[in-house]
Amino acid sequence: MATPLSASRIVKVLRDEGLVVHEYRSWRTHNRNHKGPWGPVNGVMIHHTVTKGTSNSVDLCYDGHSALPGPLCMGVIDKAGEVWLVGNGRANHAGLGDGDVLRAVINESDLPPDNEADTDGNRHFYGFECINLGDGDDPWPEKQKLAIEKASAALCRAHGWTHKSVIGHLEWQPGKQDPRGFTMKSMRDRIAKRLGRDPEGPTDPPAPPKYEPFPGASFFREGRNSKIITAMGKRLVAEGCGRYEVGPGPEWTNADKKSYAAWQRKLGYSGSDADGIPGKTSWDKLKVPNV
């Protein structure tokens, strides 16, 4: 039983274990804490996403969907073995599970069958969603399994837990099968061996992304055709400001203008300050990647 780690501490312990860690969007303040308490934390839960593709999966786990708002976990582990942090705090990943399982995790004893759904797991577990279709055929690259091992061990070290504090969703909630494709016993065996030696040491953080400099307000005019406009539109969609029926595309259109105006309003601008023509301050905050 432990107090949840701070965002900065989470990043540090993961990197100290030798992981590449990406801090995605506003993950440090992204949580469901208004829906119930977060903590004390008692363990780590592993899932599969039932999706493919890193970008798509990370977006889904950050935003959630109509039936289940995000974040859907603390971190996404991709097939390259890199961790994408998408939430810090209570997340919609564990749901209701078996209180007897929680007591076994707390005591670090053998797990009983999960035959009840009477206990809120979102409060008690860090969650990692691992990119896999979960169909039994989608492979689990060794790099990805190694990252699951490292991420779990990092949190166990930080809290003084053993490998028995790491469980799969299928061991918590009746009817679940994730993660499918390896056994949690085999993963706990790997984690136990890792905890028996020192961490590998920190990796260098990924290079900060490079963004398009503000091209000037006059750039955004009828007839302009540029990859920058496509990249801008994709960022607006990612921020929930896209007003596109088709696209976004490279040609500056009224849909781009409406979308950018929605971004300006999201930043708190109004009236003529939210006219849909980019200014330097709002552009820099949008962080359009280099093209």
Residue written as token pair 């699951």: 148
Residue written as token pair 């599969």: 48
CA distance 190 to 24: 28
- Does 143 reside within a domain? yes
Q: Which domain holds residue 49?
A: 7-195
DSSP assignment string, 220-251: S-TT-B-HHHHHHHHHHHHTT----SS---SB
3-state secondary structure of 218: helix
pLDDT tens track for 182-224: 999 999 999 999 999 988 777 666 677 789 999 999 999 999 9
The per-residue pLDDT for 91 is: 98
Backbone angles phi, psi at 204, to 5 degrees: -70, 135
Question: Do 188 and 237 fall within a single domain?
Answer: no
Are the CB atoms for 50 and 174 separated by under 8 Å? no
Question: Do 105 and 141 fall within a single domain?
Answer: yes
Average pLDDT over residues 19-33: 95
Q: Would you place residue 1 in the very low, low, confident or very high pLDDT band (cuts 50, 70, 90)? A: low
Give percent above pLDDT 70 in the chain: 98
Domain count, the chain: 2
Buried b (16+ CB within 10 A) or exposed e, 20-58: bbbbbbebbebbbeeeeebeebbbbbbbbbbbeebeebb
- Does 110 reside within a domain? yes
The overall average pLDDT reported for the chain is 95
The per-residue pLDDT for 204 is: 65
CATH number for the domain including 42? 3.40.80.10
Question: Do 28 and 61 fall within a single domain?
Answer: yes
Give percent above pLDDT 90 in the chain: 92
**For residue 65, which amino acid is it?**
H
- Does 1 reside within a domain? no
CA distance 148 to 47: 10
pLDDT tens track for 154-182: 999 999 999 999 999 999 999 999 999 99
The per-residue pLDDT for 79 is: 97
* Residues contacting 86, CB < 8 A, separation 6+: 24, 25, 27, 30, 58, 61, 62, 70, 71, 72, 73, 74, 75, 76
Q: Would you place residue 116 in the very low, low, confident or very high pLDDT band (cuts 50, 70, 90)? A: very high
Q: Tokens in use for 5?
A: 């780690």
pLDDT tens track for 59-68: 999 999 999 9
Question: Do 51 and 153 fall within a single domain?
Answer: yes
Q: Tokens in use for 192?
A: 């136990």
* Neighbour order of strands in the sheet with 43-48: 20-23, 82-85, 75-77, 125-130, 43-48, 166-168
CA distance 291 to 288: 9
Question: Do 221 and 145 fall within a single domain?
Answer: no
Are the CB atoms for 195 and 53 separated by under 8 Å? no
